């Protein structure tokens, strides 16, 4: 009989308060919380894990997964190569830098195309598996093509500056990055190949996934004379400020029991955060009693949801941590499903499970020599002002703050079901921008990103002949792609492929196995369709050349 009431009693004791605390709404930042975790991973000397990244950083997710740790054999087969680029394509005189790239020449035969994969916002070295067994290898093999991975400026070793200060970052933008790719395609010479493979003389197929997927679509629109064809996989061609739909996809696609557990837990947590007599004891339950600001607490609770994007059809690559988190929330407790606190506040016992998960998986990462506030607080600006080149996180956050947005927030309608705290507003989520990038002498980060710089290139309706749009049905980034529910529907044609992978998450088609027949049927299907339409594109070009 004693055990029946043990858990409700524990909750009541932990949440009981003896002092009154003035209520307030804090202004923290989710991305700032991300930087805290980046610092903790660096402190422990452990690689940054994909499921511990914020949605904004999950675009660069690949660098965290074991198959993306490039083996020595791959490094030997795909050695670093370099191409000289101007720092500023539009105002000469700023000097040059070396842009890194890698080549797969296994299948190249004279007359074949070049398949180039945009490295996006991570070290290009993390994309080499796509050159080895993924989409570049698949398409190069099918077309007798030459495979390329091109590293993005300011990432990996393609660093054009000596520090990551606000002024030094000013050449990191859409226009300069696109001009890099165009200059590369028009002028690169490949060692060991006598033929001139520059565009437009040779057809170039430009591929990208996620942010790089948007870049692939943009390249087809901006440089149609150079980019013969492009494939935008999970291409986020719609930039937005408050990105609440990301979590809405997860809420609707997750196991219904898990979603309900999250909804009820978050609703109860928000109610308790709004009550001075309960707030501090709630934080104590999560092991965060000394975390000063409520928004930092709310941002920390959001972190396990990122594991959804880490799902993948290939178990060697994908993560199971989202399902493990759901299982933890549903762990059976002895006693009733809820406990009622003074004032009539009903607390689902899933809150206790949530608290245990956060304590064991996140709070435990805080070293003994640091306080909880030092680990997870975001109000000390000095944490975000190191501009040395070791601060790899600064590149993508700079792009977010200047042109892309995608700040995670709760649904604008507070009556709408939610799986993140209502404290996560646009103001809170974007606070990292002034913290990390104070005004420089030559450049200042805008108060909100200029998302028009992205959306003016086509937004949801971006389209062109030989531009393929491929997305995942349950990809949390789908609301920012042409497959968004906000976008107009289109026909799927050979000239303008428009494909949605059933139950697909993030750029599922980019991954591949050595033997296509070993892939799941839906992945085999999308790869076969991609091979077919690319071959048809090339066939049309060859036919056109013959008639000239």
What number is the average pLDDT over the span 76-100? 94
475 flagged as catalytic: yes
**Top-confidence residue, 78 or 345:** 78
Backbone angles phi, psi at 56, to 5 degrees: -65, -30
Asked which of 436, 466, 487 is the last residue of a domain, the reply is: 436
Report yes or no: 321 and 307 within 8 Å, Cβ to Cβ.
yes
pLDDT > 70? residue 287: yes
pLDDT > 90? residue 199: yes
**Is 321 a domain residue?**
yes
Q: Are residues 226 and 336 in the same domain?
A: no
What number is the average pLDDT over the span 345-374? 91
**Is 365 a domain residue?**
yes
Q: How many domains does the chain have?
A: 2
**Is 444 a domain residue?**
no
Report yes or no: 252 and 243 within 8 Å, Cβ to Cβ.
no
What number is the average pLDDT over the span 302-329? 95
**The token pair that represents 483 in the structure block:** 């497959």
Report yes or no: 248 and 478 within 8 Å, Cβ to Cβ.
no
Q: What is the pLDDT of residue 399?
A: 97
Q: Are residues 361 and 406 in the same domain?
A: yes
pLDDT > 80? residue 342: no
Backbone angles phi, psi at 10, to 5 degrees: -60, -45
What number is the average pLDDT over the span 517-539? 97
Q: What is the pTM of this model?
A: 0.89
To 10 degrees, the CA torsion angle through 367, 369, 372, 373? -130
Q: State the pLDDT confidence band at 343, using cuts at 50, 70 and 90.
A: low
Q: Are residues 362 and 506 in the same domain?
A: no
Q: What are the tens digits of pLDDT across the range 500-511?
A: 999 999 999 999
Q: Are residues 227 and 306 in the same domain?
A: no
Q: Are residues 431 and 525 in the same domain?
A: no
Asked which of 379, 405, 436 is the last residue of a domain, the reply is: 436
pLDDT > 70? residue 65: no
| Element at 407 (helix H, strand E) | strand 405-407
Catalytic pick from 62, 295, 296, 475?
475
Q: What is the pLDDT of residue 27?
A: 27
Please give the Cα distance from 109 to 239 (Å, whole number): 39
Q: Which long-range contacts (CB under 8 A, 24 or more apart) does 366-371 make?
A: 366/40, 367/40, 367/43, 367/44, 371/290
**Is 398 a domain residue?**
yes
pLDDT > 90? residue 63: no
**The token pair that represents 289 in the structure block:** 């009693």
**Is 81 a domain residue?**
no
Q: Are residues 146 and 106 in the same domain?
A: yes
**Is 410 a domain residue?**
yes
Q: What is the pLDDT of residue 345?
A: 61
**Is 421 a domain residue?**
yes
460: CATH: 3.40.50.1820
CA 462 from centroid of its chain's CA atoms: 21
Q: What is the mean pLDDT of the chain?
A: 88
**Is 93 a domain residue?**
no
Q: What are the tens digits of pLDDT across the range 215-272?
A: 999 999 999 999 999 999 999 999 999 999 999 999 999 999 999 999 999 999 999 9
Backbone angles phi, psi at 115, to 5 degrees: -105, 110
Asked which of 436, 466, 498 is the last residue of a domain, the reply is: 436
Q: Are residues 410 and 262 in the same domain?
A: yes
Catalytic pick from 29, 63, 168, 210?
210
Q: Are residues 222 and 245 in the same domain?
A: no
Q: State the pLDDT confidence band at 32, using cuts at 50, 70 and 90.
A: confident
SS (H, E, C) 93-138: CCCEEEEEEEEECCCCCCCCCEEEEECCCCCHHHHHHHHHCCHHHH
Q: Are residues 368 and 467 in the same domain?
A: no
Tokens 């859409």 correspond to 174
Q: What are the tens digits of pLDDT across the range 103-156?
A: 999 999 999 999 999 999 999 999 999 999 999 999 999 999 999 999 999 999
**The token pair that represents 154 in the structure block:** 């300011």
Find the domain containing 258 and state its range.
241-436
Q: What are the tens digits of pLDDT across the range 162-187?
A: 999 999 999 999 999 999 999 999 99
210 flagged as catalytic: yes
pLDDT > 60? residue 72: no
Q: What is the pLDDT of residue 34?
A: 86
Q: Are residues 414 and 465 in the same domain?
A: no
Q: What is the pLDDT of residue 299?
A: 94
Q: Are residues 384 and 298 in the same domain?
A: yes
Q: What is the pLDDT of residue 92?
A: 79
Q: Are residues 225 and 283 in the same domain?
A: no
H helices, E strands: number in the chain? 20, 12
pLDDT > 80? residue 403: yes
């Amino acid at each position: 009989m004693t055990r029946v009431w043990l858990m409700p009693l524990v909750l009541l004791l932990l949440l009981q308060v003896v002092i009154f605390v003035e209520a307030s709404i804090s202004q923290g930042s989710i991305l700032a919380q991300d930087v805290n975790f980046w610092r903790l991973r660096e402190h422990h000397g452990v690689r940054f894990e994909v499921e511990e990244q914020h949605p904004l950083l999950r675009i660069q997710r690949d660098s965290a997964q074991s198959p993306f740790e490039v083996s020595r054999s791959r490094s030997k087969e795909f050695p670093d190569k370099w191409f000289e680029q101007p720092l500023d394509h539009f105002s000469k005189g700023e000097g040059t830098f070396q842009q890194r790239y890698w080549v797969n020449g296994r299948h190249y035969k004279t007359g074949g195309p070049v398949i180039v994969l945009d490295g996006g916002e991570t070290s290009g070295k993390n994309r080499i598996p796509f050159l080895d067994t993924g989409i570049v290898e698949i398409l190069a093999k099918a077309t007798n093509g030459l495979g390329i991975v091109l590293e993005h400026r300011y990432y990996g070793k393609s660093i054009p500056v000596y520090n990551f200060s606000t002024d030094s970052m000013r050449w990191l933008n859409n226009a300069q990055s696109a001009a890099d790719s165009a200059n590369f395609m028009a002028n690169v010479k490949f060692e060991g190949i006598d033929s001139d493979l520059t565009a437009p003389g040779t057809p170039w197929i430009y591929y990208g996934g996620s942010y790089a997927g948007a870049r692939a679509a943009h390249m087809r629109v901006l440089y149609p004379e150079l980019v013969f064809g492009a494939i935008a996989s999970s291409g986020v061609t719609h930039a937005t400020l408050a990105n609440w739909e990301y979590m809405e996809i997860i809420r609707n696609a997750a196991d219904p029991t898990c979603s309900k557990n999250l909804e009820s837990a978050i609703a109860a947590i928000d109610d308790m955060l709004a009550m001075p007599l309960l707030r501090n004891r709630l934080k104590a339950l999560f092991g965060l009693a000394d975390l000063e600001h409520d928004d930092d607490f709310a941002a920390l609770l959001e972190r396990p949801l990122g594991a959804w994007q880490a799902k993948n059809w290939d178990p060697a690559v994908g993560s199971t941590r989202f399902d493990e988190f759901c299982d933890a929330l549903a762990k059976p407790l002895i006693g009733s499903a809820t406990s009622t606190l003074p004032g009539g506040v009903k607390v689902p016992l899933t809150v206790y499970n949530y608290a245990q998960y956060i304590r064991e998986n996140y709070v435990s990462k805080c070293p003994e020599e640091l306080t909880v506030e030092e680990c997870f607080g975001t109000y000390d600006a000095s944490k975000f002002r190191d501009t040395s080149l070791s601060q790899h996180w600064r590149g993508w956050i700079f792009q977010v703050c200047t042109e892309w947005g995608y700040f995670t927030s709760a649904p604008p309608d507070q009556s709408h079901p939610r799986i993140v705290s209502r404290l996560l507003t646009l103001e809170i989520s974007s606070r990292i921008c002034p913290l990390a990038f104070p005004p420089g002498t030559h450049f200042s980060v805008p108060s909100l990103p200029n998302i028009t710089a992205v959306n003016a290139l086509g937004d949801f309706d971006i389209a062109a002949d030989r531009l393929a749009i491929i997305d995942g049905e349950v990809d949390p980034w789908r609301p920012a792609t042409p497959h968004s529910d906000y976008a107009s529907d289109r026909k799927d044609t050979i000239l303008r492929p428009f494909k949605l992978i059933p139950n697909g998450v993030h750029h599922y088609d980019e991954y591949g196995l050595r033997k296509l027949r070993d892939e799941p049927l839906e992945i085999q299907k999308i790869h076969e369709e991609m091979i077919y339409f690319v071959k048809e594109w090339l066939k049309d070009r060859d036919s056109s050349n013959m008639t000239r």
